Structure 1
Amino acid sequence: MSSSESQCSTTYTSPSTPGSATITGTYSGDSTHSSSPGASSLTFGGGTSGGITVTANRIQASYWDPCFATTCSFGTGPGTTMFFALCSDASCLNVLQTGFADEHGFTFSGLNPSTTYYVLPDDCNSCHGSAHNVVFSHWGDGSTVRPLAATAGSRLDAWYSCTNNCA
């Protein structure tokens, strides 16, 4: 390199886990300006990416309305919702968020994209003061696991049936 040429370089490495990252830069200097190193740090918090969306759907049967929502693709319903919990552990002892969903869905938001969460669909026993129970039957993929492991970006469709004097 001649005395009139200079170089400026920067380096950044993204951290693989939440924490601090450093950007370093170096100016080699030239015949007029002296060399100069520099550094700056930034905090990387892991970020959030979308959420987990859950829906509650009724298994079609002659003894009840086709929807929880007042309207859905199957027809009409009473305008009710089902309770869901988002947990950090498979036994659901640490509940992070809760929400209510019908066929139109509910989204648990602000989730870390690298974390596995667990979604628990709740049953409704003696629903709304009646003798019947609305109980979780299965997920959209046929699985009956409760709670179900999921990551940000997932959509989980829960299907429910009615027991105990539903007619």
Structure 2
Amino acid sequence: MSTPADADVPLVHTSFTCTDETAGLLAKERAKRAWKVPMLWVVVVVGSLYYSLTVSHWGKNPALFLITLAISLPLLTALAFGGRYWLTRRRSKRALNAVYPAGTALRAEFGTHGFTMRSPRGSAYTEYRELKYFFAGTATVLYTLPARQLLVIAPRELFPESALALVRPHVKVRRRG
């Protein structure tokens, strides 16, 4: 049986076995995305402005307005984003522990047109052209698939430099660490 000329022949094979820390690392990175929720910023700013205006009798006392705003804005920011971070991390860790318990084997195969992620729960093929955002951290990789409205998070060990070299021509790979 022959292989078609445009078949996606795997060029890079990787594997990773989940540990007790895997779900925690993935959940932590996912929770850091709390800062990127525009609507939460709107609620914090509008709430802080409203509170400051009411305390200053609708702006009749500008000094009191500015002092109240200077106190309420950082306080509401810390409460809103801290709460969102904590909830997201807790929920994500619980969900990821259920999906990827310690000892679970994950594999990835990278070809010229896309990559396949495999786990005991199944496999998923993603073409590089589908990727919109791609972030490679020290412990995790995040990427978005707008067509499926999906944010995917995976252990960094599944995406070595040789795999990132195949991704780079199709999407900007952002890095940290």
In which range does the TM-score fall when normalised by the shorter chain? under 0.3
Structure with higher RCO (Cα < 8 A, 6+ apart): 2
TM-score (norm 2): 0.21
Write 1 or 2 for the structure with the bigger share of helix.
Answer: 2
TM-score (norm 1): 0.22
